[in-house]
Amino acid sequence: MVDAPKPRSARLVELLGLSDNELCTVLDSDALTIVSGQAEATPELAILIDLLEEAAEKVGTRALAGWVRRRGPAGRPIDALLSREFPAFERAVEVLVERGIVVGGGNGRLGGGSERR
């Protein structure tokens, strides 16, 4: 017997340790839409999984789940994700892949450049 592939939404929960409510917020869907599989076709889900699989290969799944809630140089990645600010979240993942986990510092924004005062 061959196991059915895991739904992408379940993989997103696994990679980031999201709650059910957080998953609904990220996918802008209700629980019934997610459970029925209708949310699997959203382009955001496919892009997020592709992004996060690369990061998980680099830092590991457990570290990724911790990283998303940790304040880094540009704030907490989970905040960008829950606000559906996908470009900001993508930048945070890119920094993670390039530099590893960076904790603290920065100006608290998930913006492009750094500010000098």
Q: What is the pLDDT of residue 102?
A: 67
Residue type (1 letter), 89? F
Q: What is the pLDDT of residue 73?
A: 79
Confidence of residue 4 (pLDDT cuts 50, 70, 90): low
pLDDT tens, position by position, 41-68: 999 999 999 999 999 999 999 999 999 9
CB 44 within 8 A of CB 86: yes
CA distance 92 to 86: 10
Name the 3-class secondary structure at 57. helix
CA distance 64 to 58: 9
CA dihedral of residues 62, 63, 69, 75 (deg, nearest 10): -160
Confidence of residue 117 (pLDDT cuts 50, 70, 90): very low
CB atoms within 10 A of CB 100: 11
CA distance 99 to 11: 24
* Model confidence, pTM: 0.80
Closest C-alpha among 115, 27, 112, 105 to residue 72: 105
The mean predicted confidence, pLDDT, of the chain is 86
